[in-house]
Amino acid sequence: MSAQRFQAWKPIDGAPPRLYLEAVHDDYEGLRFLLQGEDRTGPMLRLTFESPIGYRNINESYRSRSWASVSDMKSLSTLLIVENSEWVQWLVEEAGGVLRVEALTHYAIYTPEDCIDIVTEFPPTAEWLDG
Tens digits of per-residue pLDDT, 26-59?
999 999 999 999 988 889 999 999 999 999 998 7
Domain containing residue 9? 5-129
pTM of full prediction above 0.75:
yes
Q: How many domains does the chain have?
A: 1
Per residue in 66-110, pLDDT (tens digit) is: 555 555 555 678 999 999 999 999 999 999 999 999 999 999 999
DSSP 48-76: EESS-SEEEEEEGGG-HHHHHTSTTGGGS
